[in-house]
Structure 1
């Protein structure tokens, strides 16, 4: 049986050819640090856009770099899967951190990250009043997050997918437990906020994707935990979204749903685009069953003394009924 790190001869030869040039090697080192656009890479490297794009095309075709679209932007990142992914990371790991070229590139990367953070902060500030109004009805985050950790348990996670990631809080708390974490959201502005948050916390194993929750831009049969935190009440077809989330689960994987119990706060529908005023236990259990998941846990978090005006939150955990027969851990397959 082939070693999970091994790759075919022609794949390695192509990867060596692609990486064996100064600018492309610098690009690999930068894209191991962060997801970056062509314009950001142009700023860091001080080279022309056509030249940088040409180098990125070669790296992408060799499987050393992957790209994804986010609105009108295209982001690049060192490959996370595929036969050359492990080789790409090996190359970067062997570079001396004190090399003058890499030190200068990291300094300019820090400036790019600072500019991103400023942009995200301005967007967040312009919407703070709206978010604060909604947050006033939520239970304290520490209570909900403690219940989430209890639900998923202490075992290490391989791949985590956060749907409707918003500002990235779920990725912030779950990515440190995982080998890889991916967040999906439809809003480029919210993804900018999430990206700044992840970079501030140094979470290099977390990536973001813009996409539709009804047609996910991620690997299928891959994630051992998918999270939908305060997402369902925005959707016009919750069952369809849960079915799509289930398609992303590997056999035996789990889907965690956190949302409001039924309530009568019409202002959330009228002023904050909530399509549903909470979900009953039977309703979500029916969704999970229809998607091929068994309900393995349900917990209701009701307001406590001193939390007047807060809405009850319910946590559901469903498990994929398929048996996981994969002999190799996901982290090994990821870098194959």
Structure 2
């Protein structure tokens, strides 16, 4: 880690500091912390990398979690671990910043971590390839993705912002697209397979300020008033009740926060219901505006991305940007790892 790492000004009690130091001061646990500084791991990952038994690794992670040095996130039958946030997380990062990056033991761990990530990336690629025909068919039905991404950037602007929430994150494409603008981000998806793809993509691109979690778009396990930007990209047409999802997203917006929605304009391609599980065949401006108004949001931008004249059979993609009209207040920064399960 760099000596230029920034730490918070939060302070620890004597008891908490001693507990943190005691729990970090063991060889295997310190190696685990060094690995988690590079991203999330499961118990299985750690057993492969460190060459130790599952019960032993689980015991070490339990102690680190109880001390607040590490956070634990269940995802179905899986459990992911990452470094904590706040003062205890800063304590870990401070300790790790003094480690010699050329240390032979840590270097060996990093080599095995890279191999583990390659294996995961290959598994994610295989899953993606199994769905590629379906997804390629759907992408071929609308304007090129590059044009959509350009329009999203234009709608959001180039100013940096704080916390981002991407609902139905899928492959994590929006987390990657906007990675230079947010300070921290969370992607939510119902599919463990898609989260595997997203994690592999974010790791490959070196995105460390974003996490992904399994969750329900209709019942988000996030605090109220906690995100500056929330995105719902090509997700609402899969839902029976899009308005409910919009209301839940609005709940999580900070005063002055923005909600970005990207989806299809109304169309008549009925086959998408059967072959792609679409529940809605696009959304009219009036309908979307009603949902946004009912959620207490003001629409500030609506933009249709229509196909070129020679591609009249393609679908139009619409971008809506809405804002929470409340006055921006000095709400505390979201401690994502501590508050989001």
Q: 1:129 — aligned with what?
A: 133
TM-score of the superposition, structure 1-length normalised? 0.93
Q: 1:271 offset after TM fit, Å?
A: 1.4
CA distance in 1, matches of 2:302, 2:22: 53
Matched, 1:13 2:27: no
Matched, 1:273 2:277: yes
Q: Is the 8 A contact 1:209 1:217 kept in 2?
A: no
Q: 1:103 — aligned with what?
A: 107
Query: Which piece of structure 1 moves more, 265-274 or 9-18?
Result: 9-18
Deviations 1:147-195 (A, max 9, x none): 1111111111211111001111111111232211111111111111111
CA distance in 2, matches of 1:127, 1:280: 29
Matched, 1:54 2:56: no
User: What CA RMSD, in Å, does the superposition of the two structures yield over aligned residues?
Assistant: 1.9
Q: 2:80 — aligned with what?
A: 75
Query: Which piece of structure 1 moves more, 13-22 or 191-200?
Result: 13-22
Match of 2:267 among 260, 263, 268: 263
Pair 140,293 (structure 1): closer, same or farther in 2 beyond 3 Å: same
Q: 1:220 offset after TM fit, Å?
A: 3.4
Q: 1:285 — aligned with what?
A: 289
Q: 2:177 — aligned with what?
A: 173
Q: 1:4 offset after TM fit, Å?
A: 4.9
Q: 1:143 — aligned with what?
A: 147
Q: 1:233 offset after TM fit, Å?
A: 0.4
Q: Is the 8 A contact 1:259 1:315 kept in 2?
A: yes
Q: 1:200 — aligned with what?
A: 204
Q: 2:4 — aligned with what?
A: none
Deviations 1:214-258 (A, max 9, x none): 112334322111100001000111111111112222221111000
CA distance in 1, matches of 2:137, 2:213: 27
Query: Which piece of structure 1 moves more, 216-225 or 253-262?
Result: 216-225
CA distance in 1, matches of 2:177, 2:193: 21
CA distance in 2, matches of 1:186, 1:294: 28
Aligned structure 1 segments of 4 or more residues deviating by more than 4 angstroms:
333-336
TM-score of the superposition, structure 2-length normalised? 0.92
Q: 1:327 offset after TM fit, Å?
A: 7.0
Match of 1:43 among 44, 48, 55: 48
CA distance in 2, matches of 1:264, 1:38: 47
SS of the counterpart of 1:306? helix
SS of the counterpart of 2:143? coil
CA distance in 2, matches of 1:267, 1:123: 23
Query: Which piece of structure 1 moves more, 54-63 or 222-231?
Result: 54-63
Q: 1:222 — aligned with what?
A: 226
Q: Is the 8 A contact 1:11 1:83 kept in 2?
A: no
Deviations 1:269-301 (A, max 9, x none): 121110000111111111111111111111111
Q: Is the 8 A contact 1:34 1:204 kept in 2?
A: yes
SS of the counterpart of 1:84? helix
Q: 1:32 offset after TM fit, Å?
A: 1.3
Query: Which piece of structure 1 moves more, 319-328 or 118-127?
Result: 319-328
